[in-house]
Structure 1
Amino acid sequence: MRLLKVATCNLNQWAMDFDCNLKHIKDSITRAKEVGAVIRLGPELEITGYGCEDHFLELDTVNHAWECLKEILLGDWTDGILCSIGMPIIRGSERYNCQVLCFNRKIVMIRPKMWLANDGNYRELRWFTTWKQKDQLVEFQLPPEISEALSQTSVPFGYGYIQFLDTAVAAEICEELFTPNPPHTELALNGVEVFLNASGSHHQLRKLDLRLRAFIGATHTRGGVYIYSNHQGCDGARLYYDGCSCVVVNGEVVAQGSQFSLKDVEVVVAQVDLDAVASLRGSISSFQEQASCKTKVSSVAVPYNICKPFNLKMLLSSPQKIMYHSPEEEIAFGPGCWLWDYLRRSGASGFLLPLSGGADSSSVAAIVGCMCQLVVKEIANGDEQVKADAIRIGNYADGKFPTDSKEFAKRIFYTVYMGSENSSEATKTRAKVLADEIGSWHLDVCIDGVVSSLLSLFQTVTGKRPRYKVDGGSNVENLGLQNIQARIRMVLAFMLASLLPWVHNKKGFYLVLGSSNVDEALRGYLTKYDCSAADINPIGSISKQDLRTFLWWAANHLGYSSLAEIEAAPPTAELEPIRSNYSQLDEVDMGMTYEELSVYGRLRKIFRCGPVSMFKNLCYKWGATLTPSEVADKVKYFFKYYSINRHKMTVLTPSYHAESYSPEDNRFDLRQFLYNARWPYQFRKMDELVQEMNGDRVAFKETGEDGGTAAGGGGMGVVAAASGNPKAGF
């Protein structure tokens, strides 16, 4: 038996904070060595942090990375252990995303990334170039100060592997695993038994299974030990990197780290038998045949044994059941951990949330409550860093620290119900009950006086006073009156966030939390610069349907029972007067259901459908209940309001990324914001198709978990002006 102990890690790195990142790297190496590991793998670009973006274009960023690597190599960190460390490197005039493989205080090899992530949330080609010389390793001249310090002038650079006396090890960096022809295929045929994948992979609802299946598939038919490392934490932007570092042997997971955690460093260790890899490969005839005529890959010889001989006292890591979180748990823990990172790193003293008693703002409140529960739990488990951060943020003294989540919430979480004459007692009561369950410092504020003052000012300037539609006013008046309320709440929220800590003799400021969901953003069902304009938004990329199931889960698992009643209530903005024969409802205002919005969003973004393609798809999906003409009307209505309101995406509050059809304009959904909202060519093509179908119903429909038939047409709602539709709730 050739026994090999390996260590991989989740690291909560912070882009451009080299002190923080270096500390975590050293800590992870120390822990790996303490348990006897001879290989330590860290995440992609771990020295700088993955999310540096255009800072990668600065020479300082690369130079600081070299300085940190030098500090690691001059110490005893790499004695007797192969460390794979991620950093940017400039070779000549080219900048590469690299894994630096270090052993015994020397750089053994530098492996540049060959296939870069360049879609969705990723823009690696903006900062790095791909390594294209696959047929050879070249000599890389180390920077003079590094060369002098290490007494090493050059190092092999390129695509290849490390050949120890008893096994072969190679790097496969993040995106390369997911390419049509991944490197591990030919590396395995060249005898590589251990694969190191350093990654920067973000959380997205229901995504983890795809990642783990890739690791399992990489070694199931080829054999091998696949070691995966990932960032864990916000890194300073919209993404949450969700850890789950793991070790897979011959297609079976033998070690898995956490997906959501407040820990800065988590080391995952496994002990494996490399003879099991050799045995599997030797039993597969096709592997033997293909290996005999393989394309040769360059290697670097390291005359050292890293395996241990057979020892009964050394237990092998056994296959284990993969840990998956439900989508409801992902919504609780992912944004909860993301919020904690923002709170502790921003210098803020807490959060302020406009709490309307509706589903969206209540979901945000529950996530903050979950964060408080996680903090108290980690402190009880002995995490000194979480404890120190909580003591500082919560302003504890005399050796005290959080032991109760509600008590902690009272210190760091303000909720504000900003009611008007259009608000109901039901929502006011629901907001208060939920605030009490979570433990927030809750305020009840009436905004009617401010609204009336603004209307009086308007009347003085213009001589006119607008009226609601139910009182005989026009659509323009009705929309304007709703937007005034929404924008006043934004101004009031920021004022309270900045001044309430002063009122209560607390240091610092509070971050304002937004609560608009992905479906409302896609439709533009929000007022520009209303309470959707906050500091950060933990649910801005989560669908209404997922939020509703989350509310049920949170009512039962987080201890906030009032969420069940909130989920059951019909969504309403409460921006118009309530009458016995009229009650404002979100889905009526929007002219479409949240279920329909989710379908439109997935077809538009994930399946890349324009109006005509979407119409064709929905004729199949909804054809059992709707005529082609009715389907066309729905598609036209969606694209009209999507394009009219696209400009709002340019000012969306930075949101936790969780859904693949997010319309977020920053970098995930790059589209123009000035459209011809009539879509004359596309809508005309749809009309022609409807005529060809002669108005007949399609005889069949597609079924699926997100399918079903369309709900009724609903009212047309308010026509969006430049300022847009009001936001449901606060």
Structure 2
Amino acid sequence: MSHLITLATCNLNQWALDFEGNRDRILESIRIAKSENARLRVGPELEITGYGCLDHFLEDDLYLHSWEMYASIISNPETHGILLDIGMPVLHKNVRYNCRMLSLDGEILFIRPKIWLANDGNYREMRFFTPWMKPSVVETFVLPPIIAKITHQRTVPFGDAVINTLDTCIGAETCEELFTPQSPHIAMSLDGVEIFTNSSGSHHELRKLNTRMELIMGATRRCGGVYLYANQRGCDGDRLYYDGCALIAINGKVVAQGSQFSLKDVEVVTATVDLEEVRSHRAAIMSRGLQSSLSTVKFERVTVEKELAVMSDRFDPKLAPTPERSIRYHLPEEEIAMGPACWLWDYLRRCNGTGYFIPLSGGIDSCATATIVFSMCRIVYKEIVDDGNDIVLQDCRRICRMGDSWIPENPEAICSKIFHTCYMGTSNSSKETRDRAKQLAERIGAYHVDLNMDTVVTSIVSLFEVATGKKPIFKIFGGSQIENLALQNIQARLRMLLSYLFAQLLPWVRSIKNSGGLLVLGSSNVDECLRGYLTKYDCSSADLNPIGAIAKKDLKKFIGYAAKEFDMPILIDFLDATPTAELEPITKDYVQSDEVDMGMTYDELGVFGYYRKVEKCGPYGMYLKLLHEWTPKLTPRQVAEKVKRFFFFYAVNRHKQTILTPSYHAENYSPDDNRFDLRPFLINPRFPWASKKIDKIVEQYENPDSTKELDVMTVE
């Protein structure tokens, strides 16, 4: 016997506070789900408002507008005939909750508030919402008049309930609840719930998708059941990119998976599942039966007097269970090629921008940023030409300031309209970097300017000399370290000034009609930001930074991938070049090197960043871990010196993190001070107590017979 039911989940590219746009995308997803004969449609978390409203969630207007949009959805006859699970914020007894609205045929069945809120890393949900701390408890919610007139209901259940139809049982959980040790779906499954919905606002991070998939697979394999995962997709106005990947799984098997990166505003994923598989799977596990019979958690049922499944006595030869499929994962270098690119496109089209500008140095970081912009153009071109996406075509015509008949011939044609680059050389710059920058710009079709700014640098130095009577000179010519640093910073900061000048005026130079200024892109990678190896208010200060949370080693992998995948052999020259800022004079005996300047390698910075942020290590804890990892290759004293050096420069440069350009969040050890990495920016860089403890361990290694102990009560 079979018990078939078609279900739908979706990826929606919602935008914070775009109430009407969000509503229309919800309506479109419902239409598509119904066209596929789905009986249940699940959408992303807070899909009516957009997930990333942040402190706008504290405004009463937002709750009013949410109800207005919800009213227009459930009053629309096109939304009837399918069970809807829609996300929006709700005020109940003057308390704000992150809720799921479950309805059928224009009638609200119940409102399910989120129980466990995401409140770490990038998330601060408890700043806006209160968790529902009453598991399996249901209260009465008084509907606003605008809704009561439509549904002819005065009150509806509010709380931790489930839906009983005539043929199955459905329960909802929301995003973070899947990641908690005691997820709601466990108790729901033991109480007979067969279909679980999960509505998420889960962001992309390199190598993160497998964690999400493993949790879903483990949940349905262990508990049995059908799991519908919906997610937000795109840039909804902040640093995060929500990566979609809507999913339908049954008993630990994936039967449908949406795309992880795409420019489609609405993507609906459907599958037909056999509920008899769930029942058979569960009945075969004796221990599960025992736990179910002993479970004390019983959920209130909201009854729906309808069947959702197609019963065996209504056999449809065209309807069959969707077969199992393997999970699709992207390599990290593919994720870099697609995630930041889609984020940049969303930002550009939603801010009604003219395009992007970057100071192209000829180094690997600005090269990677430029290649991501070109990847964006490739994705846009594919969406237009291969997929026939009219929305993307209209956005592309508007951004490129082209007419209604224009269709790009290739990605380079798009790039030539919206991407501008500039090599800002000085006497310290090499011919190799200048040539690489020019060749890369030509290959991707960017509008390129090549300039030498020595006269501007000289004017600034001369102005200082006139004002003070002193002329700073580089260290290599006999100057002091402070003179050397000041002369480098002049060049770096002038590049920021010139970047914004060119970003504002290049569209005017090119006679682009009805255009504003360009958005300036920064190109400091996560390791340099962590170490503070950048000049404050130099060309790392920009409007957006696509690589600000991507490690140098991952950028190198991306460039290697793009060289082959994008047919860009010029990128190999960037990979082979020694990373250098080119801010000091080049002589036959000296060429400035980033890793020498920093006193540590990029690979070491990646390790330091991981232990500092992810493993939550201070200097002493990090030393103990690295002591085991890096010895005997390094001596205990060498490990100690490296750890101390890292924490010193991290601490003295911490103030730079307060003004970092908003970056695409891709790495879990990002030092972004704005919300992700909350640490003070005035710290004793010597970490004296931790240093003493480290020194004691070094002494014990070097003098095993020493009996001296560090007096924990002594502060010198």
Q: TM-score, normalization: structure 1? A: 0.94
| Aligned pairs (5 A) from 1:233-632 | 233-295=234-296, 296-310=298-312, 311-380=316-385, 381-397=387-403, 399-506=405-512, 507-632=515-640
User: Counterpart of 1:130?
Assistant: 131
The answer as to whether partners of 1:164 and 1:306 remain within 8 angstroms in 2 is yes
One-letter amino acid of the structure 2 residue matched with residue 115 of structure 1: W
SS of residue paired to 2:505: helix
SS in 1 for 2:379: helix
Secondary structure, in 3 states, of the residue corresponding to 1:77? helix
Query: Residues 628 and 695 of structure 1 are in contact (CA less than 8 Å); yes or no, is this contact kept in structure 2?
Result: no
- Which residue identity does 1:386 align to in structure 2? V
1:223 is displaced (CA, Å) by 1.1
**Once structures 1 and 2 are overlaid, which stretch shifts more, 71-80 or 106-115?**
71-80
Any conservation in 2 of the 1:366–1:560 contact (CA below 8 Å)?
Answer: no
Look up the SS of the partner of 2:604 in the other structure. helix
Say whether the 8 Å CA contact 2:27–2:79 is kept in structure 1: no
Partner of 2:164: 163
Q: Give, in whole Å, the separation in 1 of the partners of 2:523 and 2:379.
A: 21
Q: What is the Cα deviation at residue 38 of structure 1?
A: 0.6
* 1:180 is aligned to 2:181: yes
Question: What secondary structure sits across from 2:294 in the alignment?
Answer: coil
Deviation at 1:424, TM superposition (A): 0.2
How far 1:695 moved relative to its partner? Answer: 5.7
Which residue is equivalent to 1:714? none
> Separation in 1 of the partners of 2:24 and 2:468?
63
What letter corresponds to residue 154 of structure 1 in structure 2?
Answer: T
3-state SS in 2 of match to 1:340 = helix
SS of residue in 1 equivalent to 2:24:
helix
Instruction: Specify the SS of the correspondent of 1:221.
Output: helix
Question: How far 1:74 moved relative to its partner?
Answer: 1.0
Q: Match of 2:542, SS? A: coil
Q: Please state how far the C-alpha of 1:351 moved relative to its aligned partner.
A: 0.3
Spell out, residue by residue over 1:70-93, the C-alpha distance to the aligned partner (whole angstroms, 9 max, x if none).
001111133110110000001012
Aligned counterparts, 1:105-124, within 5 A: 105-124=106-125
Report SS of the residue matched to 1:451: helix
Q: Equivalent residue for 1:209?
A: 210
Stretches of structure 1 lacking an aligned partner (at least 5 in a row): 697-730
Tell me the equivalent position of 1:228: 229
RMSD of aligned residue pairs (Cα, Å) = 0.9
Amino acid at match of 1:655: S
**Secondary structure of the corresponding residue to residue 232 of structure 1:** strand
Identity of paired residues, percent? 54
AA aligned to 2:602 is Y
Q: How far apart, CA to CA, are the structure 2 residues paired with 1:312 and 1:403?
A: 45
Q: In structure 1, give the amino acid aligned to 2:561.
A: W
Aligned residues: 696
Shift of the alpha carbon at 1:148? 2.3
The alpha-carbon deviation at position 398 of structure 1 amounts to 5.3
What's 2:39 paired with? Answer: 38
Give, in angstroms, the shift of residue 193 of structure 1: 0.5
SS of the aligned residue for 1:343 comes to: helix
Aligned to 2:407, the other structure's residue is in SS state coil
Q: Is the 8 A contact 1:121 1:668 kept in 2?
A: yes
Alignment gaps of 5+ in structure 2: 705-716
Cα deviation 1:308-362 (Å, max 9, x = unaligned): 1232210211110111100000001000000000110112110001101100000
**Separation in structure 1 between the aligned mates of residue 3 and residue 78 of structure 2, nearest angstrom:** 24
Cα pair 1:629 1:695 within 8 Å, conserved = no
Aligned AA for 2:347? Y
Offset from partner CA, 1:141-172 (integer Å, 9 cap, x none): 11122212321111111111000000000101
Query: In the alignment, residue 417 of structure 1 is paired with which amino acid?
Result: Y
Q: Whole-Å Cα distance in 2 between the matches of residues 222 and 578 of structure 1?
A: 65
**Letter in structure 2 aligned against 1:302:** V
- Partner of 2:610: helix, strand, or coil? helix
Determine whether 1:641 maps to 2:636: no
Question: Normalising by the residue count of structure 2, what TM-score does the alignment of the two structures yield?
Answer: 0.96
1:78 and 1:102 in contact (8 A); partners too: no
Asked if structure 1 preserves the Cα contact closer than 8 Å seen for 2:14 and 2:236, the reply is yes
> 1:118, CA displacement in angstroms?
0.4
SS of corresponding position for 2:337: helix
Shift of 1:624: 1.1
Determine the C-alpha separation between the residues in 1 that align with 2:208 and 2:43: 21
Question: Residues 196-254 of structure 1, C-alpha deviation per residue, up to 9 Å, x if partnerless?
Answer: 00000000000000000111011102210000000110110000000000100110000
Counterpart for residue 84 of structure 2: 83
Counterparts in 2 of 1:695 and 1:527: CA distance versus 1, 3 Å: farther
Whole-Å Cα distance in 1 between the matches of residues 250 and 381 of structure 2?
36
Deviation at 1:135, TM superposition (A): 3.6
Supply the AA of the counterpart residue of 1:300: V
Shift of 1:541: 0.1
The C-alpha deviation readout for 1:465-495, integer Å capped at 9, x for no partner, is: 1100111110000000000000000000001
Give 1:315's aligned amino acid.
A
Question: What is the DSSP-based 3-state SS (H/G/I as helix, E as strand, rest coil) of the residue aligned with 1:602?
Answer: helix
Cα 1:218–1:412 shift into 2, 3 Å: same
Find the residue that maps to 2:149 and give its secondary structure. helix
In the alignment, the residues of structure 2 paired with residue 334 and residue 146 of structure 1 have an alpha-carbon distance, to the nearest angstrom, of 39
Amino acid across the alignment from 1:442: H
Deviations along 1:634-687, whole A, 9 cap, x unmatched? 111111100000000000000000000000001100000011112111111111
Q: For residue 707 of structure 2, what is the aligned residue in structure 1? A: none
In the other structure, the counterpart of 1:653 is 661
TM superposition outliers: structure 1 runs of 4+ over 4 Å: none
In structure 2, how many angstroms separate the alpha carbons of the residues matched to 1:147 and 1:398? 45
Structure 1: which amino acid aligns with 2:336?
Answer: I
Aligned residue identity for 2:670: S
- 1:376–1:402 CA contact under 8 A, matched in 2: yes
Residues 627, 695 of structure 1: 8 Å contact kept: no
The amino acid that maps onto 1:290 is Q
- Matching residue's letter, 1:3: L
Judged with a 3 Å threshold, the aligned counterparts in structure 2 of structure 1 residues 398 and 334 are, in CA distance, closer, same or farther, namely closer
Indicate the residue corresponding to 1:725 in structure 2.
none
Q: Secondary structure at the match of 1:323?
A: coil
Distance of 2:134 and 2:243 partners within structure 1: 33
* Counterpart residue identity of residue 337, structure 1: C
Which amino acid letter does the alignment assign opposite residue 379 of structure 1? I
